Structure 1
Amino acid sequence: MAKEAIHANPTGRHAELRPQIFEVSTLYGAATLSAALDAGLFGPADAARRVLLVSNNAAVPETATPLGDMAGWDGIVTRFDLVVDWNATIRPLHPSDWSPVEQDAPLWQRVFREAWGLGEGIADLVVESVHANPAAALARIFADADVHVYADGLMSYGPTREALPSATAPRIVRLLHLDLVPGLRPLLLSEYEVGSETVPDAAFRAVLDELTAVAADDPEVPRDPERAPGAVILGQYLADLGILSTGEEEELHARMLRAAAAAGHERVLFKPHPTAPSRYSRALEKAAADCGVELLVPTTPLLAEAVFGRCRPRLVVGCFSTALFTAATYYGVPAARVGTDLLLDRLKPYQNSNRVPLTIVDALLPDLETSNAAEAPGDVGPLVRTVGYCMQPRQYPGLRAEAFAWLDEHFGSRTQRYFKRRRLTSLELPGSLAPAGGRFPGGGAALRVARRVRRAASRRRGGHR
């Protein structure tokens, strides 16, 4: 429970404290924020009025597990003075859809400040995905707040999805992120010269241990080494995102199980994604029976990291889940990938924010089905920046020269999976469909004129037949 179930009006002590609003939509994100607070990255607790704003951003929130039902949530919220259900606050509107019209934003700020006991001081607004609602709506409402962005996964290494409003970008103080790929710097928000700051590993691992401790009563997550799963496979929610069909996603999970069985694991735990709808696939159960593998599925909603901490598996398998890297970074558990080639081909549009996490996993982790080791060309940073430039060239023009040089040296049979030839052609980069090593003589304008002339000539020839 939060320290307060009911607030008072912003008078007395509350009015003297610095207001801090933390927006969260996942338990992993809440754990990241908790670690940042524990490490003192937001100052002392007794100097702030901390409000945790909980948003369920699932397409159909009623089908996703509420954060309050997940193991460890009660411990997370003790770090905050008040917990607010954002979905209930704006009901019947969806958190991803609602944003106040500009002239109403000051009114909403006054309403929320009074309702949440925030006083009148300059606030700290701590959000994820600042370009999208509900974070974008909160940034508009609290127009004078200092904005801190936290990234709870591999997406921090990718580009900002779209240009930010001119009223928001200058207020961003920093980007907080986990050091999931040591040495790799986040591309997110770098075009605005926003500095990045890592959440200390020790603080984050301590929060994960806290979450693990309360997962001890799930019979499907055994601590006994005799019953513990040798491998954990990570489910995602690719069908609900429209990336794969339901049948294709079920088959992807079955491929993971078969690959784990082929690697010698006789007991496998399937960890569904917490945002995925509550459904269980018979396809995975059948694959387990066909392979002679015992399949375990948690009966309580909990983080994948709580499973790692309790079961100590020997292998973690997934497609492009961030948990693959938390397994390796924080628990020393080897991770392997399955299905990244399919997703690299299917992911649309090219600038889809999942592309960089997918690229990182494909480049750095071995393929469990083929036993092929990762073949990343040296440091993964240049590859990630090149993919990031191709995703958002207008926002990162300063990366063009590096991207051109990297593609000129490395584009080939192994690396072309990270790019689309049409994309490279439109950007006049090596690997394109255009002549002269990816550059059409005269540049893009000349290429467009040549195409128009060619189409016109083709129509004339057709007319003479």
Structure 2
Amino acid sequence: MTQVFYSSTLFGAMTLAAAIDDGRFGPRAGRRLLLVSNNAAIPEITPGVDETEGFAAIRSRFDDVRSWNEIVAPLHPSDWKARQAELPMLGRLLRSDLGLGDGPAELIVESIAVPPSRTLAALIRDCPITVYSDGLMSYGPTRDPLPSEIAGRITRLLHLDLVPGLAPLLLREAGVAPQAVPDAAFAEVIGAIHAPADLEGEAVILGQYLSALGILTGDEESAMHTAMLRAVAARGHTTVLFKPHPAAGRRHARRMRAAAADLGVDLRVAGETVPAEVCVKALRPRLVVGCFSTALITSHRLFGAQVATMGCETVLERLAPYENSNRVPATIIDATLPRLAEDGTITDPPPADLPGLVEAVGYCMQSEQHPELREATARYLAEHGAQPRYFKNRRLAALGLADAPPPCRAGRPSALGRLRRALAR
């Protein structure tokens, strides 16, 4: 029978390859089909997973590769989901198109709470589901409640052991057991991907796509990258590699070049589709800087690189709503990694009870899914206080874990009050 794998990123496909090599999907007795999806805002101008150079190194793990974008075109894969009444018909059509017969032996997906994974789980029925996580989001709670028909089929959560000793919150409410994919298996996959010959840099700056997510404006994200560049220059690094996020394009790199010229820094730019881990493995840089990229953790764990974060406090302040699934990754990075200042100094974060902090933040994000964490959250807050960078007072008050904030002072009406008066006028 067929095992159907789904991935939207090269990092995710690398995680699948490592899990396959580690024997997590058994011997290769049947067909292995990989569905790839390009979830970029404009997928037509962004390379997909199977169009990257690094994909060739892991292609042999799969018998067939199909594009989910082509199947659902002209609709965007992150937006489309079948209506309930259409599920049986569309499910049959999909099984026929993919050559699945009566159905696959197993469905393996990422980000189960949202399309395309949630859409695939609804269409491809009557088989067990394995969820794999390709980053730090496995340590945060499930983004949205899952229907019982999907949740009841999930048998395990595969994740990289990025933070040893920290148990994932993802799918815990459904009783799903997490299984860590060994570092060695993932490192071997990285080792099989050839780095471009022109890579160069004493320090590496990791770009993300915070403006595309609405966390920062484009100018603010560019300013953050420029601040990182000034910081590494202040530490004496004269050749710097900027690694853009695959979904961000090169607009940030163009804005950084002028700043690099003023600082006397030779700025190199890696291809968007080259994994950050491949760059770090090839260069062995003296410093890797980013905001809250998972690559900060993998660079340190797998290759022993010195890493530092910059801008996490701003991101934690801007994330909205509080349930934003980037909150736990940003919290982990901020609480555990050294912090880089614009003058080049690096300071360690205060000591943290990371398991307690992550579970407390996770409870505040999704209290209804994790009522069992309420007492532990109250104890954590009593011992450590309501640290403003991680907890919002209004959120705590809504959960009965803090006093309600004082009302707006007279003469300074709230935004809602101003809106009401404007509408009345």
TM-score relative to the length of structure 2: 0.92
Alignment partner, residue 166 of structure 2: 184
Output the amino acid matched with 2:347: N
Task: Report whether the alignment pairs 1:392 with 2:366.
Answer: yes
Alignment partner, residue 151 of structure 2: 169
**Candidates 274, 284, 287, aligned match of 1:302:** 274
Alignment partner, residue 197 of structure 1: 179
Output the amino acid matched with 1:174: R
Shift of 1:216: 3.5
Q: Distance in 1 between matches of 2:122 and 2:318?
A: 35
Shift of 1:248: 0.5
Shift of 1:334: 1.4
Task: Report whether the alignment pairs 1:26 with 2:26.
Answer: no
**Candidates 246, 249, 253, aligned match of 1:277:** 249
**Candidates 77, 81, 90, aligned match of 2:72:** 90
Shift of 1:416: 2.1
Q: For residues 386-407 of structure 1, give each alpha carbon's deviation from its aligned partner in whole angstroms, at most 9, with x where no partner exists.
A: 0000011111111000000100
Q: For residues 406-451 of structure 1, give each alpha carbon's deviation from its aligned partner in whole angstroms, at most 9, with x where no partner exists.
A: 0011015xx3210111111111114x4469xxxxxxxxxxxxxxxx
Output the amino acid matched with 2:167: R
Q: For residues 246-273 of structure 1, give each alpha carbon's deviation from its aligned partner in whole angstroms, at most 9, with x where no partner exists.
A: 1000000001111111122121100000
Unaligned runs of 5+ in 1: 1-17, 223-228, 436-465
Aligned to 1:269, the other structure's residue is in SS state strand
Output the amino acid matched with 2:258: K
Q: Distance in 1 between matches of 2:211 and 2:66?
A: 30
Q: Distance in 2 between matches of 1:299 and 1:205?
A: 20
Unaligned runs of 5+ in 2: 407-425
Alignment partner, residue 255 of structure 1: 227
Question: Could you tell me whether the CA contact under 8 Å between 2:335 and 2:349 is conserved in 1?
Answer: yes
Shift of 1:300: 6.4
Alignment partner, residue 415 of structure 2: none
Alignment partner, residue 39 of structure 1: 22
**Candidates 72, 88, 91, aligned match of 1:109:** 91
Output the amino acid matched with 1:404: A
Question: Could you tell me whether the CA contact under 8 Å between 1:50 and 1:80 is conserved in 2?
Answer: yes
Q: Distance in 1 between matches of 2:391 and 2:262?
A: 37
Q: Distance in 1 between matches of 2:254 and 2:86?
A: 50
Aligned to 1:57, the other structure's residue is in SS state coil
Q: Distance in 1 between matches of 2:23 and 2:132?
A: 15
Aligned to 2:339, the other structure's residue is in SS state coil
Q: Which structure is larger by alpha-carbon Rg, 1 or 2?
A: 1
Q: Distance in 2 between matches of 1:79 and 1:284?
A: 38
Q: Distance in 2 between matches of 1:237 and 1:300?
A: 12
Task: Report whether the alignment pairs 1:352 with 2:324.
Answer: yes
Q: For residues 208-260 of structure 1, give each alpha carbon's deviation from its aligned partner in whole angstroms, at most 9, with x where no partner exists.
A: 1111x2x243x2x14xxxxxx11100000011111111100000000111111
Change (3 A) 1:300 1:427: closer
Q: Distance in 1 between matches of 2:11 and 2:399?
A: 36
Alignment partner, residue 156 of structure 1: 138
Percent pairwise identity: 52
Task: Report whether the alignment pairs 1:56 with 2:26.
Answer: no
Stretch deviating more after TM superposition (319-328 or 100-109): 100-109
Change (3 A) 1:291 1:433: farther
Task: Report whether the alignment pairs 1:411 with 2:385.
Answer: yes
**Matched residue pairs, number?**
403
Shift of 1:344: 1.2
Cα RMSD of the aligned pairs, angstroms, is 1.5
Task: Report whether the alignment pairs 1:312 with 2:276.
Answer: no
Question: Could you tell me whether the CA contact under 8 Å between 2:95 and 2:103 is conserved in 1?
Answer: no
Stretch deviating more after TM superposition (284-293 or 100-109): 100-109
